[in-house]
Structure 1
Amino acid sequence: MGHIGRRGAVALGITGLVAPLTLALGAAPAQAASCTTQTGPYQKKVEKFLGRPVDGKQSAADCKAIRAFQTKHGITPNIGYAGPVTWGVMDLMNKQKAVGKNPNKAGKCPVNKGRIACVNLTLQLSWIQDGKKLVYGPVPVRTGRNGYETRTGLKKVYWRHIDHVSSLYDVPMPYSQFFDGGQAFHSVGISMWNPPGSHGCVNMTTKDAKKYWSLLKKGDDVFVYGRKPGT
């Protein structure tokens, strides 16, 4: 399990390095003229999400607003087109917001285990609860993409490494808490909504990964359920 198991986890660190680079290139002046004039299939929904006038027609200002959103979240190509990937991210954000402070409303994450970290793949949310009491979260997470899905089921934190660096790719994975083979909670320096996802790990912001580090310990339960959109 050791070497091979960790490979999946480490691969995703690479996206952490590649994505900002792509973003930097995408924002280069040469790209400035490539704002699309095409109206996308999700134009009205995207306009509404961004607080733009909802007329269902692409305008230069619409394009600029859509592009800024795409660039922020690493959605490519970032040409301001209101397509399925862009709307998919916005739709997920809306659903995450709707959860409020009751992420375990459906009772899917066990409440008889004491302290447990829950991961809802469908909503890309994670939180820590103690019995029925919400301790931290819910926070947005970035889980495994198609073909590298974060595995579901009840697991336990079996290894923690605060400044883990993948031996395979020499990529930093800070605040790593491994719970299934090479799959771990750890921080990344890119958007939680950056498609298509990780190589199996549960990515978090530095703030949330630090908090998880302080709240969890070796042997604590982790429960992963649901299915990430697009997998």
Structure 2
Amino acid sequence: MGDLRRRGVVALGVTALVTPLTLAIGARPAQAARCTTSAGPYRKKAEKFLGHPVDGKQSTADRKAIRAFRNRHGIRPNIGYAGPVTWGVMDLMDLMNKQRAVGKNPNKAGTCPTGKGRIACVGLTRRLSWIQDGKKLVHGPVPVRTGRSGYGTRTGLKKVYWRNKNHVSAIYDVPMPYSQFLGGGQAFHSAGVSMWSPPGSHGCVDMTKTAATTYWSLPKTGDDVHVYGRKPGT
């Protein structure tokens, strides 16, 4: 199966959804569409994404829909198999749709405190961060890349306790520009990878350079940060 041969691939990013995924994952040229007797390990999740009955069965409608999805996104061979690459693209698209749906009201549920004055909020479930002052949105929301399994970004109310514009990690020996530390070595900082690149950070709140430089000019040492929710898979 094409999915199985590319199990480690899902560093897709936004461009992988805008341009053909064939370019993003190095898939082979299109092959003739064909069926498969294997439903794939992500069949139920794929059914839910597609709005089909979630029964895990290899129905004709499921097979055709998954073949069409794989074909649109350049996943080869063009078969009705719901493997890790197929689900990886679906999961990424679902996350991006949820992020877009937030619009300019990321704190609609009131989960991030509004009585703290200026505060940076990090919602792990939707992988978004923003800055608010009371109920007023000051900046964002912006996509962020948070901790992977085993290195979860810790939740709770924190404070920016140290800032270093040109920090280099003493543990991983990698640059962490515009670092603003929140506790236990975890920090906001610029990262040179896609915010959708799996599996995630080692606990830091990774940001694009643009977002990180803006955050550098807003929160200051002693300002509050609230991290809440749970990143799926952690």
TM over 0.5: yes
* SS class of match (2:86): coil
Deviations 1:3-39 (A, max 9, x none): xxxxxxxxxxxxxxxx79xxxxx97998635989678
Deviations 1:190-228 (A, max 9, x none): 111111211100011110000000111111000000111
Q: CA deviation at 1:177?
A: 0.5
One-letter code aligned to 2:179: S
Q: 1:169 to 1:113 in 2, by over 3 A?
A: same
Deviating beyond 3 angstroms after TM superposition, the runs of 4 or more aligned structure 1 residues are 26-41, 43-46, 61-64
CA distance in 2, matches of 1:62, 1:153: 40
CA distance in 1, matches of 2:207, 2:134: 23
CA distance in 2, matches of 1:206, 1:29: 25
Instruction: Say if 2:59 is the partner of 1:56.
Output: no
CA distance in 2, matches of 1:208, 1:149: 21
Q: CA deviation at 1:44?
A: 9.5
Alignment of 1:151-230 (within 5 A): 151-230=154-233
Deviations 1:168-204 (A, max 9, x none): 3321111110011100001111111111211100011
Structure 2 segments unaligned to the other structure (5+ residues): 1-10, 13-21, 51-61, 76-82
CA distance in 1, matches of 2:25, 2:154: 41
Q: Which has the higher helix share?
A: 1
Structure 1 segments unaligned to the other structure (5+ residues): 1-18, 21-25, 47-53, 68-78
Q: 1:219 to 1:65 in 2, by over 3 A?
A: same
Q: 1:64 to 1:111 in 2, by over 3 A?
A: same
TM-score normalized by the length of structure 2: 0.70
Q: 1:129 to 1:56 in 2, by over 3 A?
A: same
TM-score normalized by the length of structure 1: 0.71
Which shows bigger deviation, 197-206 or 167-176? Answer: 167-176
Instruction: Say if 2:141 is the partner of 1:143.
Output: no
Q: 1:99 to 1:66 in 2, by over 3 A?
A: farther
Instruction: Say if 2:73 is the partner of 1:65.
Output: yes
Alignment of 1:90-105 (within 5 A): 90-105=93-108
* SS class of match (1:102): coil
One-letter code aligned to 1:65: H
CA distance in 2, matches of 1:156, 1:144: 18
Please name the residue that 1:5 is paired with: none
CA distance in 1, matches of 2:127, 2:106: 11
Larger radius of gyration: 2
Counting matched residue pairs gives 191
One-letter code aligned to 2:98: K
CA distance in 2, matches of 1:29, 1:144: 24
Q: In angstroms, what is the RMSD of aligned CA positions?
A: 3.3
Identity over aligned residues, as a percent? 62
* SS class of match (1:97): helix
* SS class of match (1:56): helix
